[in-house]
């Protein structure tokens, strides 16, 4: 009796999770993909016209704001990758400088506890042309200093990048610090005995050993960039014009503002495709690396 019960109960307990996965993830993704082939406006319309089932994607391809969104995705990705680089440098320094590790980690990590909306509002204030940093620099006598980035289409994206780096820096530092700590202590002393220089130690030994950590950081960063929405709303609300739109912003806008489910679904499907394109090769490499590690260990 007990044995049979022990077979049924776990399966029963897993039912809610399976149902959630099947309905809210698999089903919902399928629904959105289906919708992207229809002409649904504010309410779902379940008929597909076989002659123009790619209509929404065709509209996307000819949409300037969508092109801007995709371009911004790359700009934001490349720009915020600086957070990984800087995070590694900071982690390496904090690691060498044993004193103050707790202090520096606390300082670098606190922005992560703050929402992106608050982060955006904080940085909007810093970028305020009349009263913010620009004004401060002017008062110092540097009259030509321009820090009015958010009001210019060319520079607004850089403002968002700075705020994103501010928010995420400590996170990547914490991941890098964990990676550095997992490196065998003997490597450092062996390198010292062999007289390996500081630069070579890091570029030829430590960084290659931390490939796995860098990869994790890269995956998380790219996934975060694809999802970038809150920070855009809080800092520029997409403006000036559509210059700071991102795919996530575009999709929400198409749904909430323009009330066009079909169009929004098509944008969301492209977002999913981008996520898969980033994600699958990285997962494959990660799995391969882990296997190599296990082989080396065993």
Partner 1 sequence: MSAPAAGSIASPVIGAGTRRRARRVRGSTIANIVFLSMCAAFVAVPFYVVFVTSFKTMDQIAAGDIFALPTTWTLEPWWKAWSEICAGMTCEGVKHGFFNSMKILFPSIVLSIGLSSVTGYALALWNVRWANSFLFILFMCAFVPFQIIMIPLVVLTAKMHIFGTVWAIAVVHAVLMMPLLTLIFRNFYKDIPRELINAAVMDSGSFWRIFAEIILPMSGNIMVVVLILVITNVWNDYLIGLTFGGMGTQPMTVILANTVITERGDVHYNIDMAAALLTAIPPLVVYFGLGKFFVRGITAGAIKG
Of 139-168, which residues contact partner 1 (CB under 8 A)?
139, 166
Candidates 54, 74, 78, 115: give the one binding partner 1 (CB under 8 A). Answer: 115
At residue 129's C-alpha, the angle toward residues 160 and 247, to 5°, is 25
Would you say the C-alpha torsion 237, 81, 227, 277 has a positive or negative sign? Answer: positive
59: which residues sit within 8 A by CB, 6+ positions away?
263, 266
The contact pattern for partner 1, residues 254-273, with x = CB under 8 A and - = no contact, is -xx----x--xx-xxx-xx-
CB atoms within 10 A of CB 128: 16
Residue among 218, 210, 109, 207 at smallest CA distance from 166? 109
Closer to partner 1 at the Cβ: 10 or 298? 10
CA quadruple 155, 157, 162, 168: dihedral, nearest 10? -170
Candidates 108, 147, 214, 263: give the one binding partner 1 (CB under 8 A). Answer: 108
Closer to partner 1 at the Cβ: 7 or 50? 7
**61 lies in the site for partner 1, by CB under 8 A:** no
Q: How far is the CB of 234 from partner 1 (least distance, A)?
A: 6
223: which residues sit within 8 A by CB, 6+ positions away?
275, 278, 279
Closer to partner 1 at the Cβ: 157 or 267? 267
**189 lies in the site for partner 1, by CB under 8 A:** yes
Size of the site for partner 1 (CB under 8 A): 102
Candidates 37, 88, 147, 171: give the one binding partner 1 (CB under 8 A). Answer: 171
Interaction residues for partner 1, span 222-251 (CB under 8 A): 223, 226-227, 229-230, 233-234, 237, 248, 251
111: which residues sit within 8 A by CB, 6+ positions away?
119, 166, 167, 168, 169, 170
172: which residues sit within 8 A by CB, 6+ positions away?
83, 84, 86, 87, 88, 217, 221
**104 lies in the site for partner 1, by CB under 8 A:** yes
Q: How far is the CB of 216 from partner 1 (least distance, A)?
A: 6
In the numeric block, the tokens 């897993």 are attached to 14
| Three-state SS at 30 | helix
Closer to partner 1 at the Cβ: 51 or 249? 249
Closer to partner 1 at the Cβ: 61 or 117? 117
Q: How far is the CB of 67 from partner 1 (least distance, A)?
A: 18
In the numeric block, the tokens 């503002």 are attached to 257
Closer to partner 1 at the Cβ: 157 or 231? 231
Closer to partner 1 at the Cβ: 25 or 53? 25
The contact pattern for partner 1, residues 206-225, with x = CB under 8 A and - = no contact, is ----------x--xx--x--
């Amino acid at each position: 009796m007990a044995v049979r019960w022990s077979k049924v109960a776990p399966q029963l307990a897993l039912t809610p999770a399976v149902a959630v996965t099947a309905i809210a993830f698999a089903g919902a993704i399928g629904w959105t993909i289906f919708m992207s082939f229809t002409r649904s406006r504010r309410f779902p319309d379940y008929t597909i016209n076989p002659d123009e089932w790619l209509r929404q994607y065709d509209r996307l391809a000819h949409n300037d704001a969508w092109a801007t969104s995709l371009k911004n995705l790359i700009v934001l990705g490349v720009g915020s990758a600086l957070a990984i680089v800087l995070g590694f440098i900071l982690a390496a320094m904090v690691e060498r400088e044993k004193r103050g590790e707790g202090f520096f980690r606390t300082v670098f990590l606190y922005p992560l506890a703050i929402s992106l909306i608050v982060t955006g509002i904080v940085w909007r204030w810093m970028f305020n042309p009349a009263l913010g940093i620009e004004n401060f620099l002017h008062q110092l006598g540097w009259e030509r200093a321009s820090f009015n980035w958010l009001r210019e289409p060319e520079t607004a994206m850089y403002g968002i990048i700075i705020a994103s780096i501010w928010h995420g820096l400590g996170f990547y530092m914490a991941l890098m610090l964990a990676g550095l700590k997992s490196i065998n202590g003997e490597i450092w002393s062996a390198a010292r005995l062999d007289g390996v220089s500081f630069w070579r130690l890091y570029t030829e030994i430590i960084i290659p050993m931390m490939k796995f950590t860098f990869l994790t950081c890269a995956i998380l960063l790219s996934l975060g960039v694809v999802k970038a929405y809150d920070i855009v709303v809080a800092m520029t609300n997409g403006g000036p014009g559509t210059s700071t739109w991102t795919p996530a912003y575009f999709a929400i806008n198409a749904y909430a503002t323009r009330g066009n489910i079909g169009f929004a679904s098509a944008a969301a499907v492209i977002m999913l495709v981008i996520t898969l394109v980033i994600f699958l090769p990285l997962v494959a490499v990660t799995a391969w690396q882990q296997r190599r590690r296990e082989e080396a260990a065993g």
